[in-house]
A = this chain, B = another copy of it.
Amino acid sequence: MAIAELTQAQRDQLLADHPGWGLARDGKAIERKLEFADFNEAFGFMTRVALLADKADHHPEWFNVYNRVELTLTTHDAGGLSQRDADMASAIDALL
């Protein structure tokens, strides 16, 4: 079963609820860029996200170099943003 893509109103709500995130890829994804004290903190954060993501079976696209982590969330099965991205953004924000 395909997952429903968020409506424009739902996307606006997602951004209002998650001020650290911005739209990317013409509104098909959200991204957040983070900076930590060092690699230990950055990868520690990534490890916590990895456990959440694998449990939810909803995985980020992410880039890391040293203390920087860039996350992108999208739902391939929805062809854009879905509630799963909003939920994952909430779970990630709760770690910070």
Tell me the A residues contacting B by CB distance below 8 Å.
Answer: 39-40, 43, 46-47, 50, 53-54, 59-66
Contact, CB under 8 Å: A54 / B43: yes
Other-chain residue from B46, B54, B63, B66 in contact with A40 (beta carbon distance below 8 A)? B54
15 residue pairs from A and B, CB less than 8 Å apart? A39-B50, A39-B53, A39-B54, A39-B59, A40-B54, A43-B50, A43-B54, A46-B46, A47-B47, A59-B65, A60-B65, A61-B63, A61-B65, A62-B64, A63-B63
Identical chains bound together, number? 2
Task: Report chain B residues within 8 Å CB of A50.
Answer: 39, 43
Residue from the set A50, A54, A60, A66 with the largest chain B CB neighbour count within 10 Å: A50
